[in-house]
Structure 1
Amino acid sequence: MDMSVDFAGLKLKNPILTASGTFGFGLEFKRFGELEKLGGIIVKGLSIKPREGNPMPRLAETPCGMLNAIGIQNPGVEAFLKSKLPKLPVKDLPVLANLYATDAQEFGELAGMLAEEEGVAALEVNVSCPNVKEGGIAFGQDPAQITKVAKAVKKNSGKKPVIIKLSPNVTDITVCAKAAEDGGADGLSLINTLSGMAVDIKSRKPRLANVIGGLSGPAVKPVALRCVHQVVNAVDLPVMGLGGITTAEDAAEFLLVGAKAVQIGTANFISPDTAFKIVEELPGVLKAAGAKSLEEFTGSLILPE
């Protein structure tokens, strides 16, 4: 079965990518599989200047999931371009940069720094990170800000596709999707983490130093599927689905509801070879489901009359 996908102009050999923040810069996972077999990787969130992130503890396991409040720790975009990107097999693997900033102008500036980098295939824009204190979640909850950020990034992105990553922590995610579309986005990825917290009854303290973090893992999959279903029926942009995917069957569910591609996230922490396994197993899963082709299966959900 031909598993190739065209996503907003990105030529992917298959629809399986790895989610930002869960796969490092890709180099850390080379011993678990051949990176070139993946559809693509989305590197750890990048800011213009290095960020130390939030204080410890910043991870907490929860039933069927995980809370994180890393705070976009990263070495900065210049260090990434100098010491990380040159080591990746960019000729055989689409590498997507994930952008984090605190205002539209800064997002635009960051996009401009990456626009001419041949090794960067596309830009994923994080307007919805709930793990930082300076406004990340506000962007994802304000349609006007989403449009503003999308316009700023698109204006400075050159020929690179711009993908806006949406937050589920809103009343109506389709409004946010339409706002990104209005801003000129080429595609969408959803969902980012759900806002949550955990506490320790013995110490009577939060289990995260940041108190609130982002919930991910299998627990969020039903929410993610619902969001993807709603968004693909509300806008004309292609959608990457993510949230709780741990198996090829999970990936197939997102494709069925209309996602053109998927991202593997928290599962990488549980089993570092998960994305590689899903690439191998997905064709068989689709055939067993009676799919004639990936294209025919994608978005073929049969709804009640």
Structure 2
Amino acid sequence: MDLSVTLSGQTHDLTLKNPILTASGTFGYGLEFATYGDLASLGGMVVKGLSLQARDGNPTPRIVETTAGMLNAVGLQNDGVDIFCAQKLPMLPWQESPVIANIYAASVEDFGQLAARLNDEEGVAALEVNVSCPNVREGGIAFGQDPGMLAQVTSIVRKSAPDKHIMIKLSPNVTDITVMARAAEEAGADSISCINTLLGMAVDLPRRRPSLANVVGGLSGPAIKPVALRCVWQVARAVKIPVVGVGGISCVEDALEFILVGAHAVQVGTASFMRPDCAFDMVQELPAACERLGISSLDELRGSLQLG
């Protein structure tokens, strides 16, 4: 069975050997998981979020387990784009499995600089744009919560990285995610990934304190899968560009459910904290799962959900 997938974008296509990707922020730079499986076997690797300069992230505690998931307020800690390009990227099997650089910034201009910096990197196949971060010049509102700001970011990244596939990662913390998806598409995005984490919090009752030093954090894991499925289903029906499903995917059946509702590919995130070999196992298990479920083609399965 042919498991390859092509994300056919408006400007650039992205071809994957299979639909199993890793999610940003949960797989490090990829190198940290090399002992658990063959990185080249994955459909692609989305590395942890990159900024122009190195960031230390938020104070600890910044990760806490919750019912059916976890909250994180890591604060986008990373070594900065230059160190990634010089020290991390050359060690990844980018010639065999696409490397997707997740980027974030606090201004439209910085998004443009980041995209331009990565455009010349041969080992980077695509950029995934994190629009869930706050725009410091607009009072802290997240780029992904305002269609106008989201369009500005998409447009400048598209212009600054003309040689790359541009994927916009949408936040679920909005009233109507399809409005954001259409704004990204109209501004030149090649694909959409959704969803990013849901805002949540946890408290330490005996101490009468928040469990996270940052008070609130991003909820991920199996708890958010129903929300992610709903968002992917809605977005896939609202735009013509491909959609990549993210949120609570921890087994091959989960991946196939996302494809059923319209996703072209999926990203494995929090499951890698529980089982570092999860994404690798899903790649191996996918053919047998398709045969067991009578799926002869991923193209045939995609978007075939029967209503009523």
Instruction: With the length of structure 1 as denominator, give the TM-score of the two structures.
Output: 0.97
**Structure 1: stretches of 5+ with no match in the other structure:** none
Tell me how far apart the structure 2 counterparts of residues 126 and 136 of structure 1 sit (CA, whole Å).
15
- For 1:277, the equivalent position in structure 2 comes to 281
Q: Contact 1:232 / 1:239 at 8 angstroms: preserved in 2?
A: yes
Tell me how far apart the structure 2 counterparts of residues 102 and 277 of structure 1 sit (CA, whole Å).
36
- For 1:43, the equivalent position in structure 2 comes to 47
Alignment counterpart, residue 86 of structure 2, candidates 82, 96, 104: 82
Give CA deviations for 1:175-219 in whole Å, capped at 9, x if unaligned.
000111111100000000000000011111100001000000000
- For 1:28, the equivalent position in structure 2 comes to 32
Is residue 7 of structure 1 aligned with residue 7 of structure 2? yes
- What SS does the corresponding residue of 1:67 show, helix, strand or coil? strand
Give CA deviations for 1:49-90 in whole Å, capped at 9, x if unaligned.
111100000001000000000001001000000110011111
**Structure 2: stretches of 5+ with no match in the other structure:** none
Q: CA 1:46–1:153 in 2, change beyond 3 Å: closer, same or farther?
A: same
* Cα drift, residue 7 of structure 1: 1.2
Tell me how far apart the structure 2 counterparts of residues 89 and 137 of structure 1 sit (CA, whole Å).
37
Is residue 245 of structure 1 aligned with residue 249 of structure 2? yes
- What SS does the corresponding residue of 1:195 show, helix, strand or coil? strand
Q: Percent identity?
A: 62
* Cα drift, residue 126 of structure 1: 0.2
Alignment counterpart, residue 226 of structure 1, candidates 207, 226, 230: 230
- What SS does the corresponding residue of 1:121 show, helix, strand or coil? strand
* Cα drift, residue 136 of structure 1: 7.1
Tell me how far apart the structure 2 counterparts of residues 129 and 42 of structure 1 sit (CA, whole Å).
17
Q: Contact 1:127 / 1:137 at 8 angstroms: preserved in 2?
A: no
* Cα drift, residue 137 of structure 1: 5.7
Is residue 266 of structure 1 aligned with residue 266 of structure 2? no
Tell me how far apart the structure 1 counterparts of residues 200 and 261 of structure 2 sit (CA, whole Å).
26
Tell me how far apart the structure 1 counterparts of residues 270 and 242 of structure 2 sit (CA, whole Å).
23
* Cα drift, residue 158 of structure 1: 2.1
- What SS does the corresponding residue of 1:214 show, helix, strand or coil? strand
Q: Contact 2:106 / 2:133 at 8 angstroms: preserved in 1?
A: no
* Cα drift, residue 289 of structure 1: 1.7
* Cα drift, residue 24 of structure 1: 0.3
Alignment counterpart, residue 152 of structure 1, candidates 127, 132, 156: 156
Residue type of the alignment partner of 2:271: A
* Cα drift, residue 12 of structure 1: 0.5
Give CA deviations for 1:109-160 in whole Å, capped at 9, x if unaligned.
1000000110000000000148x9x977611111111100000100011210
Tell me how far apart the structure 1 counterparts of residues 223 and 139 of structure 2 sit (CA, whole Å).
26
Residue type of the alignment partner of 1:238: P
Residue type of the alignment partner of 2:196: N
Tell me how far apart the structure 2 counterparts of residues 298 and 246 of structure 1 sit (CA, whole Å).
19
- For 1:95, the equivalent position in structure 2 comes to 99
Tell me how far apart the structure 2 counterparts of residues 20 and 278 of structure 1 sit (CA, whole Å).
17
Q: Contact 1:240 / 1:259 at 8 angstroms: preserved in 2?
A: yes
